[in-house]
């Protein structure tokens, strides 16, 4: 089974100020062209709501619609936590994406931390996906990324945590510091393709050979196609064992979602 762990669509097919086509039709086409079995679709704040995306994908068997949550929409930690509880307490386990930069809140925002605390109390905690690219011009205080994710994982031990993009160029440092925290996983989307043929690519190859049960292959569609991301994966990892490739390409994310 090959599952793309990170794709996006928007309600109008536009992708910010770029020429990328983020329409459902294009994603369906690219998934079929690549020959993969399916893709996880994660909404981004301001581009499409959870309900809109779920409605658009309800008849698409190859596309798994997951969710997002923006704690910055709420006035207090308590209200953010209760809104999260109301939306997800009666759902089966799914991936919920948090995006500090697009949501416009600091990674240490207490509303975000309260939501994760509430998630820990649910009978079935959601799988929490956190964008691993923490900084942009709106983040006024830098964060030591490896320590941030280590502390997050130690604080929320019932929660499966997906570090999206693996932490970017710091993927090796983040993976090393979280090596014994087996509820932390590393999504390779964007980083795998953007940094191909760099030292980061060598780091990814080593991690795939040694931490194969913690790595998740993905494309970050529409910025990279699944087909291109597959080519980049095979070129990067080389001749690692087929079982390791299977884990990374789909079995890991399928196990997290209860698909196998």
Tens-digit pLDDT profile for residues 56-85: 999 999 999 999 999 999 999 999 999 999
Q: What gap in Å lies between CA 66 and CA 50, rounded to an integer?
A: 8
- Among residues 229, 231, 253, 251, the alpha carbon closest in space to that of 242 is found at 251
Q: What gap in Å lies between CA 172 and CA 181, rounded to an integer?
A: 14
What pLDDT, in 10s, does the model give residues 148-175? 999 999 999 999 999 999 999 999 999 9
What pLDDT, in 10s, does the model give residues 224-234? 999 999 999 99
- Residue 93 in this model has a pLDDT that exceeds 90: yes
pLDDT band at 27 (very low <50, low <70, confident <90, very high): very high
- Residue 138 in this model has a pLDDT that exceeds 90: no
pLDDT band at 147 (very low <50, low <70, confident <90, very high): very high
pLDDT band at 252 (very low <50, low <70, confident <90, very high): very high
Q: What is the mean pLDDT of residues 126-146?
A: 92
Mean pLDDT of the chain: 97
Q: 6 and 164 in contact (C-beta within 8 Å)?
A: yes
Consecutive H or E run containing 164? strand 161-164
- Residue 220 in this model has a pLDDT that exceeds 90: yes
pLDDT of residue 39: 98
- Residue 55 in this model has a pLDDT that exceeds 90: yes
pLDDT of residue 141: 86
Residue 257 forms beta bridges with which residues?
none
Q: What gap in Å lies between CA 187 and CA 113, rounded to an integer?
A: 21
Q: 256 and 185 in contact (C-beta within 8 Å)?
A: yes
pTM of the model: 0.97
- Residue 245 in this model has a pLDDT that exceeds 90: yes
pLDDT band at 237 (very low <50, low <70, confident <90, very high): very high
């Amino acid at each position: 089974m090959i599952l793309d762990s990170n794709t996006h669509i928007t309600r109008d097919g536009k992708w910010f100020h770029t020429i990328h086509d983020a329409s459902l039709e294009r994603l369906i086409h690219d998934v079929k062209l690549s020959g993969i079995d399916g893709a996880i679709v994660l909404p981004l704040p301001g581009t499409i709501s959870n309900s809109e995306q779920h409605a658009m994908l309800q008849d698409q068997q190859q596309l798994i619609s997951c969710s997002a949550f923006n704690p910055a929409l709420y006035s207090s930690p308590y209200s953010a936590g209760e809104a999260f509880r109301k939306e997800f307490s009666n759902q089966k386990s799914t991936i919920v994406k948090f995006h500090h930069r697009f949501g416009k809140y600091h990674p240490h925002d207490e509303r975000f931390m309260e939501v994760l605390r509430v998630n820990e109390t649910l009978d079935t905690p959601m799988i929490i996906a956190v964008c691993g690219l923490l900084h942009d011009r709106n983040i006024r205080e830098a964060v030591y990324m490896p320590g941030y994710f280590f502390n997050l994982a130690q604080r929320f031990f019932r929660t499966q945590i997906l570090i999206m993009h693996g932490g970017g160029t710091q993927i090796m440092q983040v993976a090393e510091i979280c090596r014994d925290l087996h509820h932390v996983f590393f999504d390779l989307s964007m980083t795998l393709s953007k940094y191909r043929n760099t030292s980061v690519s060598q780091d990814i190859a080593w991690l795939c050979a040694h931490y194969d049960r913690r790595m998740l292959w993905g494309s970050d569609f529409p910025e990279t196609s699944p087909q291109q991301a597959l080519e980049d994966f095979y070129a990067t990892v080389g001749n690692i064992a087929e079982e390791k490739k299977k884990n990374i390409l789909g079995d890991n994310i399928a196990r997290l979602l209860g698909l196998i």
